[in-house]
Amino acid sequence: MLTPLLKLLRYSDIFVVAKIAIRMHKEPKALIILKRTWGDYCLLGFRAERIATEAQPGQFIMVRSGDNLHPLLRRPISIHSVQDDTVEIFFQQAGIGTRLLGQKEKDDTLDIIGPLGKGFHLENSLQEKSVALIGGGRGIAPLYFLAHKLRNLGALPRIYYGGRTINDIPLRKKFEEEDFEILLTTDDGSFGSKGQVTDLLHVSLQDFSPIRIFACGPEAMMQKVSRIAREKNIAAEFSLEAIMGCGFGACWGCVRKLKNDTQEEWSKICEEGPVFPGEKIIWQEEEQ
């Protein structure tokens, strides 16, 4: 399975050696000042001034779920929002690490490193232009921060937010209360349009023409968004998820095959991403 790929690799160009990252801070005792939960979903807000000042939408933090040595590794969690000196994360309690994190309470502290990675590309040319943000389940997390930045930039973001059931789209009110244009879907029809968020995107693009699509969610969802964006010739960016060891380029554990120029190579999600333009990503069905 690997051999054909290896032939494509141009060995001398495989590696982008870590640049000295100066904008990366360790906050061993970030004070939690806000906690909200919706079933498995959890939002934590904590004071981390340097990270709040420097973070960009799409970047992430590495957070320890506790002081013990199991689970051992930090968890990569995308930045949901920043306000003044406060950073918010929004995550789903899915495994042992995120479950422990979900047990943290107000006045507890978090041990975090951030901001990490490269976020979404925002440029002035998006001003007064329509853009589409597609979030599936917990993938909505970075899109809230992004929606605010886009609005401040003068762009016109429309948010597509989908989940399996009404319980998987807990942030809908938050977007609505802040007057974002938001379209909701659930697979079972328990709220919003019945079906997948990609179905709604596909239909709505008949009379809606965003100049950029930003997506974060399950792999299958992003793959469909990528196909739709290609058909409609709309530039799209995707925030990818990966199991990470360190989060800052040292362990080489989080790689994924990406197209760089005409080459395919194992690239570090943590350092070169987690946000990538659609044309760089090789989706799983294309890998065969």
Partner 1 sequence: MTDLSVDLGFLRLKNPVLTASGTFGYGVEFTPFVDLNELGGFVVKGLYFHPRPGNPPPRLVETASGLINAIGLQGIGVKRFSEEILPRLKDYDTALIVNVCGDEDEEYAAVTEYLDKQDGIAAYELNISCPNTKRDGRCPALSPDTTHAVVSLVKKTSKRPVITKLSPNVTDITEIALAAQEGGSDGLALANTFLAMAIDVETRTPKLANVFGGLSGPAIKPLTLRMVYQVAQSVQIPIVGIGGIVSGNDALEYMIAGASAIEVGTANFVDPESTKNIIRDLEAYCRKNGIQRIEQIIGTLKV
Q: Is 20 in the site for partner 1 (CB under 8 A)?
A: yes
The answer to whether residue 134 forms part of the interface with partner 1 (CB under 8 A) is no
Distance from C-alpha of 8 to C-alpha of 257, rounded to nearest angstrom: 11
Among residue numbers 73 through 102, which ones bind partner 1 (CB under 8 A)?
73-74
DSSP-derived 3-state class of residue 161: strand
**Which one of 115, 119, 137, 249 is in contact with partner 1 (CB under 8 A)?**
249
**Closest distance of CB 241 from partner 1, Å:** 12
Nearer to partner 1, 122 or 254 (CB): 254
Closest CA to 45 of 28, 30, 56, 57: 30
Contacting partner 1 within 135-174 (CB under 8 A): none
CB of 92 to partner 1, least distance (A): 18
Q: Decide: is 123 part of the binding site for partner 1 (CB under 8 A).
A: no
β-partners of residue 82 are 87
Residue from the set 156, 211, 220, 251 that interacts with partner 1 by CB under 8 A: 251
Q: Does 71 bind partner 1 (CB under 8 A)?
A: yes
- 33 near partner 1, judged by CB under 8 A: no
| Rounded Cα distance, 131 and 148, in Å | 12
Taking CA atoms, 247 is separated from 15, 48, 102, 123, 286, in Å, by 17, 18, 21, 26, 27
Nearer to partner 1, 69 or 128 (CB): 69
Q: Which is nearer to partner 1, 9 or 235 (CB)?
A: 9
Question: Residue 3 Cβ, how far from partner 1 at the closest point, in Å?
Answer: 11
Cα separation of the two ends of the chain: 8
Please report whether residue 250 would count as binding partner 1 according to CB under 8 A. Answer: yes
Query: Could you tell me how far CA 219 lies from the centroid of its own chain?
Result: 12
Token duo for residue 233: 């010739």
List the 130-136 sheet strands across, edge first: 193-194, 181-186, 156-163, 130-136, 212-216, 235-239, 275-277
Contact predicate 214/120, CB 8 Å: yes
Q: Confirm or reject binding of residue 248 to partner 1 (CB under 8 A).
A: yes
Which of 126, 246, 258, 275 is in the footprint of partner 1 by CB under 8 A?
246
Q: Which residues in this chain contact partner 1 in the complex, by CB under 8 A? A: 1-2, 5-6, 9, 11-12, 14-15, 17-18, 20-22, 24-26, 64, 69-74, 111, 113, 242-246, 248-257, 265-266
